[in-house]
Structure 1
Amino acid sequence: MSISVGQILEGKVTGITKFGAFVSFPEGENGLVHISEISNDYVEKVEDFLKVNDEVKVKVLSVKDGKVSLSIKQAEKKVNAPKEIEWNVDEATKDLSFEDKLNKFLKESNEKYVEMRTRDNKRKMGNRKTKNY
């Protein structure tokens, strides 16, 4: 079987390295899924996402000099359907006046902002401690 760019194929993970995973196909062909093409999430370790003998769906990105480049995340792309808006009114705020709802929103927003700034400041302070001057 000839593998061509753009094909979606099913294969089995035959090997895992720190830079990706090797996938073989029933016809005897094989290719590499680079670590950056495994998931849309951050992949620190390939083993966190794949195991040997896992069945995976892959998209062929390129075929060059007998080397086949594959992608799992591009094979799983889905069409983004419009999200349904839930118009149900929260029972806790149903009887509040507009001003009360606005005040509640401002309070929650301010709390989230303070929490975010605190987290950022801790992160900045942590970076200062690790630098060697």
Structure 2
Amino acid sequence: MERAARIVKKNKYSSKLFSDDDIARAIWPAAVGNAIAAHTSRVKLVRATLVVEVEDLIWQKQLFPLTGQILGRLHRVMGSDVIQDIEFRMGVPRRQPMRAQARQSAPVQAPAVVDEADAIRDPVLKKVYQLSRKKASA
């Protein structure tokens, strides 16, 4: 089955609708695969050079040696050799989605009840003190 990019390139009326830049942008995921396409963005054709923005310097260094293979795949998928070179540039970092945060006021703390009996270390004396205090308050 023939790729749509080849059919579009052959049709004389489609050249008025679609530029080589549009076709290159559309076939990029098919030529490089979804894994690489997920880490690239803003594909643009400048003269005969395809300019591709990558996430970071690591992706740029990893993709540069694959330029020949990627060009071969682009030629095969596109059906023409309009693209002669690929330039990988570091793009603007993507903004991660932000979560909405509700404004939280400081939690209201109840006044701490301090029991004087907690300062007594001896358990027997502590119990005697608590019982005597209970009798006095009753």
TM-score by length of 2: 0.22
Structure with higher Rg: it is 2
Could you say which structure has the higher helix fraction? Answer: 2
Which structure shows the higher strand fraction?
Answer: 1
